[in-house]
Structures are given as C-alpha cells and as structure tokens.
C-alpha cells in the first residue's frame, strides 16, 4: 500500500499568514493581547537590568550595527535582528513572560520584540492594527508547531520550547514585511533548518528564544532576497 503524501502544511501556514487580517481576529484573542503586548515590554524593561541581558546587549553593541531599532532599557540602537534578539533576552530574562498552551511556548517574548524591531526598521509606516495582526499570527503559528510537537518524547529530548519559537518569529517578521506567499514558504523553510536548542539547566536555555528571534528575522530577510529553501520545511520527513 502506497504511503499517503503529507499535507502541504508549510504552504497552508504561509497562506494563513498572508491572508490574516485584523478584522479576522476575534475579541477573545484581542483582549488578552492588549495585556500581553505591554506586559512583554514591561518584562523587557525590568529584564534589561539582569546580568544575562546586559551580557547580550553588550555583545550586540560591540557589533556597531545600523541603528534601526531601540534596545529596550538602554541608550543603544542596533540592526533589527540584533535589537530584537537583545529585547527578547530581556523579556525572557526572569521567566515572567507569558506562556501559551497547549503549545507550551513563550510566544510574547518572541513575537513582540520581533514586531517592534521590524516595524521600526520599516521604510513604510506600520499601523497598530498591522502590528497586532503580525503578533497574533506569530502566537498562532508558534502554538500550532508547539502543539504538534508536544509529545512526551519530544519534550523530554530537551528541544521543546526552542523549536516553535523561531516559527513565531519568522511569522511575525514575514507578516510585517508583507512577504508574498511564496516568500513565506521559503522563510518557514529557512526557519525550520535553524530550529534547535537545548533545554539545559544553564543560562544557555535563556538564549534559545533570543537566538530564534534573530534567526526568524534572518529567515524572512533572506527569503525576501530570494534564498532557496525547502517548500515542505514543516512537514517533510528526513532520514
């Protein structure tokens, strides 16, 4: 019996991201987001004083990258991927950032820093509704991936939260950058090839989400420039 071909999940997710409009978001989603967005920024401002965040922000500052976006809690600016990485590190520093279930991922500290940095970098105005729509899409996709991977075996492998977070970041970035559906497919594939990180009892765990944020923006940027990526990055089976 011939094995059935997997559904084109990457294409379906890209179509969802491209098609989502603010008017499609129900109040039961918008209500919590009105709390989650400022809560994430607040976590970032408080977290920016932590030793971990200062280490990451200091590293970002050493690169002297273009001042496209603000690094929260500091007087510095950096290129969007680096600023978002630093702001995610601050938001996640004390583990007070929100969590989404059943995907069990910290979507706020990933999507909000990504959205703010990409919006600051944008050469065309980004409305509040566009920002909220992109963050919503990021929450939805990261939770979808996290739920799909939520087996005990996968969770115990040590990679749990680190995998869905990059999909939340690339979704948020790609939506705000107004990528085409084909570009979103490639961006998701480029995110998939970076999805890794260990759930270890060290501060390396805290770096999983910031690295995912930077990688998600990289993926969206490179997809827009035309870098090839697997069109089935989410559902493909490799051996």
Q: What is the pLDDT of residue 157?
A: 60
- pLDDT, tens digit, for every residue of 65-98? 999 999 999 999 999 999 999 999 999 999 899 9
How far apart CA 238 and CA 100 sit, in angstroms, is: 28
Question: Domain residue spans in the chain?
Answer: 9-225
Q: Residue holding tokens 């500052």?
A: 61
How far apart CA 31 and CA 43 sit, in angstroms, is: 19
- pLDDT, tens digit, for every residue of 163-206? 899 999 999 999 999 999 999 999 999 999 999 887 776 888 88
Which one of 3.90.550.10, 1.10.4100.10, 3.40.50.300, 3.30.70.2740 gives the CATH number of domain 9-225? Answer: 1.10.4100.10
Full-model pTM: 0.94
CA 69 to chain centre: 16
| Non-local CB neighbours of 52 within 8 Å, separated by 6+ positions | 89, 93, 203, 206
R_g (Cα) of the chain, nearest Å:
17
Looking at 119-128, 140-149, 151-160, 182-191, which range is the least confident one?
A: 151-160
For residue 73, the tally of other CB atoms under 10 A from its CB is: 19
* Residue % of the chain over a pLDDT of 70: 92
């Amino acid at each position: 019996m011939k094995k059935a071909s997997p559904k084109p999940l990457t294409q379906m997710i890209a179509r969802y991201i491209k098609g989502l409009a603010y008017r499609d978001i129900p109040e039961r989603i918008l209500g919590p987001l009105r709390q989650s967005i400022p809560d994430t920024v607040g976590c970032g401002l408080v977290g920016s004083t932590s030793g971990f965040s200062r280490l990451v922000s200091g590293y970002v500052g050493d690169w002297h990258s273009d001042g496209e976006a603000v690094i929260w809690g500091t007087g510095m600016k950096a290129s969007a991927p680096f600023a978002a990485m630093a702001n995610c590190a601050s938001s996640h520093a004390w583990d007070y950032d929100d969590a989404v279930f059943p995907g069990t991922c910290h979507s706020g500290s990933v999507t909000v820093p990504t959205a703010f940095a990409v919006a600051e970098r944008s050469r065309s105005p980004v409305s509040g509704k566009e920002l909220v729509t992109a963050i919503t899409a990021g929450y939805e996709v990261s939770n979808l991936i996290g739920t799909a991977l939520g087996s005990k075996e996968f969770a115990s492998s040590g990679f749990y939260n680190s995998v869905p977070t990059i999909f939340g970041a690339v979704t948020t970035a790609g939506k705000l950058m107004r990528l085409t559906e084909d570009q979103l497919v490639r961006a998701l594939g480029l995110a998939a090839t970076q999805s890794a990180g260990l759930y270890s009892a060290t501060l390396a765990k805290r770096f999983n989400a910031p690295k995912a944020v930077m990688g998600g923006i990289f993926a969206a940027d490179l997809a827009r420039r035309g870098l090839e990526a697997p069109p089935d990055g989410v559902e493909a089976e490799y051996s």
